[in-house]
Amino acid sequence: MFKLVVMSFAFCLGLVSCGPKAFVKGNYDDVNRENLLNDQWSETDMQKAVQDLVASLSNSYVIKNSKTPPIVMVTKLQNKTSEHIDTQNIMDMVRVELMNTGKFSFVDKEARQDVADEYNYQNSGMVSKETQKGPGGQIGADYIINGRLDSIVQEVGKDKTVYYKLTLNLTNLKTNVIAWSNFKQIRKVYRKRTIGL
């Protein structure tokens, strides 16, 4: 009987320890500290890739020789990886980092419908004529920035490598000529750990 009770207790303990774990306590962390918690695209990957590409574009021939800050529109980043990655988040960081250099001005593609709606409202008679805005005054972009995120995953035995390549292009809207292009490569190496009892 005693043996049965001990076995039942051990079984129940095993069930409890194998159940879902809840994260109940957290601390703030430095967002600039490397995050290699798992083998997927992380904020560290995004920061490293964006910083290097922004530095490359800011120091490129086309930007250094521009008499005035070019008007740029950030468009799409294609996700060619097998992961679900928020590519809008990457392009937002690209825009903010480029804007912080003081070498670029931006038009907001995402705000176009909101702007059109506001034009309609301001011309509805609800807004004074002295402060009304309307179509015809916007500035056209000189360049668009787009790109692609690729990945290659290799796994042999206990070893796994994850390779990312973020490519960005700056395209002249008047000529459709790519004025600048560069890529950033990231490779991460992982080793499986044997989990014992």
Per-residue pLDDT tens over the stretch 91-110:
999 999 999 999 999 999 98
Rounded distance, CA 66 to CA 16, Å? 65
User: How many domains is the chain built from?
Assistant: 1
Helix-helix angle 87-100:43-58, to 10 degrees: 40
Q: Please indicate, yes or no, if residue 55 is contained in any of the structural domains.
A: yes
Query: How much is the pLDDT for 67?
Result: 92
Q: Are the CB atoms for 167 and 181 separated by under 8 Å?
A: yes
Contact in structure between 29 and 147 (CB atoms under 8 Å): no
Residue 140: inside a domain = yes
Q: What is the pLDDT of residue 18?
A: 58
CB 148 within 8 A of CB 167: yes
Residue 1 in any domain: the answer is no
In a domain, 30, yes or no: no
CATH number of the domain encompassing residue 96:
3.40.50.10610
- The one-letter amino acid at 96: V
Q: Rounded mean pLDDT of the chain?
A: 87
Tens of pLDDT, residues 11-48 = 655 555 555 667 677 766 666 666 666 778 888 999 99
Decide if pLDDT at 196 tops 80: no
H runs (alpha helix) in the chain = 2-18, 43-58, 61-64, 87-100, 112-121
pLDDT tens digit string along 59-92? 999 999 999 999 999 999 999 999 999 999 999 9
pLDDT of 147 higher than 90: yes
